[in-house]
């Protein structure tokens, strides 16, 4: 049984959150440069220029890329031969989150659903984190982190379509969601799609799809071809950077699939803004 | 063709009727911040017939909830939030209190664009997700109401050459519709 110290997890998460808040990951930066090169609309090109400049300023001045520094979302794979000493894994992730958001001068964005009162004093600064655990073989701990903004979450949607609708039904639904979203989620977007499983499994898969490296090719041939088709179709919508019209509406489309119930075809679309702040910690 | 203007708050009717969807505006002067929670309080005050915490006539409201400032900085990152959450509140501020400008991102509903046309107000877009860049144009920030709302408190900002694009003008034009139609491939 391998042991990991509680404090080591707290520190790794704190450091990761602080870095991610002010440094756009390399894959997102590459996609933004690529969009700037390809964009046909002068208005959208100016927006992309501002976003590239913003990434420079954020990194050099250690200032958050965006004032919406997100809810902290984690996908955690825990090896069964691993033991956390000094506290629980969940508590360590939450403590690291609170420290990262506080020490990094990031925003406390959690609130009560009804009164809308900020939870920073009652629960903790930007707590609770949203954590998805998975048990795996071995003695490693892998923590995937993303800062998930509200604007793009607000346009995300899930449904269950009839199995007869098939691939076309999935493609049409993704197009409908992105088209309706228009300028609101801060395009260019990464579009996470979860297919199959139960209703909530599709939603969680669509979230996890956003953590994949931008520009990577899906290992599944059918999904890879759907991703290529969707990138082309979504760019044809003409939404462009910040929705002012343009040819570059998406950075990428990432699809994850699950086996379905024989009666169902769940589809979930989770939208990510251009400020795609995500990172992986291995301990 | 899009034009570029340098304007200073408070804005007059003459300032805003010259603007067309797609124009670039560099705005200087005082701008007030408010998100949905603060808007709700403003409308409650109006319903109660009480004074608002700032003079709305000719003013510009920026929909933003900044990050906390680092020591020595006036403000943290400060880009626009999605504006539709203010749609149910903005028309009354425009029609009854003379609000001249709003800064945000994303679509507004017909009630808001109708109010812009009727009472001469502008909906400006700032670049979402450019919070570090936009913060450079904010020279001072002071909480003037509802400190308990934290990032959502009303702040009085002094801005210099704050870069904006006209989304909805006083002629019922919408840059989101015009721009998208130009690049949509059917």
Domain assignment present for A44: no
Chain A with chain B: Cβ pairs closer than 8 A: 164
> What string of DSSP letters covers B44-100?
HHHHTTPPPSS--TT-EEE---PPPPPTT-S-S--PPPBGGGGTTTHHHHHHHH---
Q: Which residues 25-84 in chain B show a CB within 8 A of chain A?
A: 37, 64-70, 76-79, 81-82, 84
Q: What is the mean pLDDT of chain B?
A: 97
Q: Which residues 113-132 in chain A show a CB within 8 A of chain B?
A: 116, 118, 120
**How many residues does the structure list for chain A?**
283
CB distance from A180 to chain B under 8 Å? no
B151-178 confidence digits (pLDDT tens): 899 999 999 999 999 999 999 999 999 9
In 3D, which of A251, A266, A255, A268 has the Cα closest to residue A177? Answer: A268
In 3D, which of B92, B116, B123, B120 has the Cα closest to residue B15? Answer: B120
Residues with Cβ within 8 Å of residue B65, at least 6 apart in sequence? A67, A68, A107, B33, B35, B81, B151, B152
B39 catalytic residue (yes or no): yes
Is residue B20 over pLDDT 80? yes
Which residue, among A20, A62, A63, A271, would best test binding to B if mutated, counting the most B CBs under 10 Å from its CB? A63
Of A128, A148, A168, the position where a domain reaches its end is A148
The yes/no answer to whether this complex scores an ipTM above 0.90 is: yes
Q: Cα(B175)–Cα(A176) distance, rounded to whole angstroms?
A: 21
Q: Is there a single domain that holds both residue A170 and residue A144?
A: no
- Cβ of B183 and A275 within 8 Å? no
- Cβ of B67 and A106 within 8 Å? yes
pLDDT on residue A89: 98
Q: Which residues 260-279 in chain A show a CB within 8 A of chain B?
A: 273-275
CB distance from A67 to chain B under 8 Å? yes
pLDDT on residue A140: 96
Q: Is there a single domain that holds both residue A270 and residue A197?
A: yes
| Nearest by CB: B179 against A57, A236, A245 | A245
Q: Is there a single domain that holds both residue A131 and residue A190?
A: no
- Cβ of A66 and B68 within 8 Å? no
Q: Cα(A113)–Cα(A155) distance, rounded to whole angstroms?
A: 18
Q: What sign does the dihedral B30-B35-B40-B43 (CA atoms) show?
A: positive
B185: nearest CA partner in chain A: A236
Domain assignment present for A27: no
A237: nearest CA partner in chain B: B184
CB distance from A226 to chain B under 8 Å? no
- Cβ of A54 and B106 within 8 Å? no
Q: Is there a single domain that holds both residue A241 and residue A254?
A: yes
Q: Right CATH number for B4-179 from 3.40.50.720, 3.20.130.10, 1.20.120.80, 3.40.50.300?
A: 3.20.130.10
> What string of DSSP letters covers A46-113?
HHHHHHHHHHHHHHHHT--SSS---EEEEEEEEETTEEEESS-HHHHHHHHHHHHHHHTT-----B-T
Q: Which of B15, B19, B39, B119 is catalytic?
A: B39
Q: Is there a single domain that holds both residue A142 and residue A157?
A: no
How far away is chain A from the Cα of B161, in angstroms, using its nearest Cα? 14
Is residue B148 over pLDDT 90? no
Domain hosting residue A116, numbered range: 2-20+65-148
Q: What is the tally of structural domains in chain A?
A: 2
- Cβ of B132 and A43 within 8 Å? no
Q: Is there a single domain that holds both residue A134 and residue A163?
A: no
Q: Is there a single domain that holds both residue A208 and residue A121?
A: no
| Nearest by CB: B131 against A43, A65, A242 | A65
**In chain A, what residues touch B82 (CB-CB under 8 Å)?**
150-151, 154, 184
- Cβ of B66 and A40 within 8 Å? no
pLDDT in tens, chain A (283 residues): 999 999 999 999 999 999 999 999 999 999 999 999 999 999 999 999 999 999 999 999 999 999 999 999 999 999 999 999 999 999 999 999 999 999 999 999 999 999 888 899 999 999 999 999 999 999 999 999 999 999 999 999 999 999 999 999 999 999 999 999 999 999 999 999 999 999 999 999 999 999 999 999 999 999 999 999 999 999 999 999 999 999 999 999 999 999 999 999 999 999 999 999 999 999 9
Of A117, A148, A179, the position where a domain reaches its end is A148
CB distance from A178 to chain B under 8 Å? no
Q: Is there a single domain that holds both residue A132 and residue A254?
A: no
pLDDT on residue A115: 87
Parse chain B into domains and list their residue ranges.
4-179
pLDDT on residue A219: 97
């Amino acid at each position: 049984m391998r042991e990991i110290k509680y404090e080591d997890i707290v520190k790794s998460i704190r450091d990761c959150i602080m870095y991610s808040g002010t440094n756009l990951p390399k894959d997102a930066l590459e996609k933004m440069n690529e969009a700037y090169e390809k964009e046909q609309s002068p208005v959208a090109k100016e927006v992309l220029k501002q976003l590239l400049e913003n990434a420079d300023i954020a990194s050099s001045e250690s200032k958050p890329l965006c004032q919406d520094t997100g809810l902290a979302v984690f996908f955690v794979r825990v090896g069964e031969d691993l033991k956390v000493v000094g506290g629980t894994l969940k508590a360590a992730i939450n403590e690291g989150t609170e420290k990262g958001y506080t020490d990094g001068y990031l925003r406390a964005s959690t609130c009560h659903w009804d009164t809308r009162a900020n939870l920073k004093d009652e629960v903790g600064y930007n707590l609770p984190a949203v954590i998805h655990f998975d048990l795996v073989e071995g003695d490693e701990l892998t923590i995937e982190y993303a800062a998930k903004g509200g604007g793009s979450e607000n346009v995300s949607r899930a449904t269950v379509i009839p199995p007869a609708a098939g691939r076309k039904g999935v493609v049409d639904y993704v197009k409908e969601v992105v088209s309706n979203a228009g300028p609101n989620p801060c395009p260019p977007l990464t579009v996470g799609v979860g297919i199959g499983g139960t209703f909530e499994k599709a939603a969680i898969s669509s979230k996890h799809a956003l953590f994949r490296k931008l520009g990577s090719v899906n290992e599944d041939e059918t999904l890879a071809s759907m991703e290529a088709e969707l990138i082309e179709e979504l760019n044809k919508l003409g939404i462009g950077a910040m929705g002012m019209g343009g040819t570059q509406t998406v950075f990428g489309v990432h699809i994850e699939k699950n086996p379905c119930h024989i009666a169902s075809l769940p589809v979930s679309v989770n939208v990510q803004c251009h400020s795609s702040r995500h990172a992986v910690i291995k301990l | 063709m899009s034009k570029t203007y340098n304007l200073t708050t408070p804005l007059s009717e003459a300032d805003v009727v010259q603007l067309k969807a797609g124009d670039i505006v560099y705005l200087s002067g005082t701008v007030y911040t408010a998100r949905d929670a603060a808007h709700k309080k403003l409308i409650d005050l109006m319903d109660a017939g009480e004074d608002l915490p700032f003079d709305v006539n000719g003013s510009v409201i920026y929909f933003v909830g900044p990050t906390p400032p680092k020591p020595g900085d006036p403000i943290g990152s400060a880009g626009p939030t999605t504006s539709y959450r203010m749609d149910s509140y903005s028309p009354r501020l425009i029609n009854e209190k003379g609000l001249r400008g709003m800064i945000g991102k994303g679509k507004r509903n017909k009630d808001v664009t109708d109010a812009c046309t009727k009472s001469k107000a502008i909906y400006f877009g700032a670049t979402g997700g450019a919070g570090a860049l936009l913060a450079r144009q904010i020279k001072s920030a002071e909480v003037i109401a509802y400190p308990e709302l934290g990032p959502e408190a009303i702040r009085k900002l002094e801005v210099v050459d704050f870069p904006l694009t006209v989304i909805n003008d006083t002629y019922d034009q919408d840059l989101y519709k015009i721009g998208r139609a130009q690049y949509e491939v059917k």
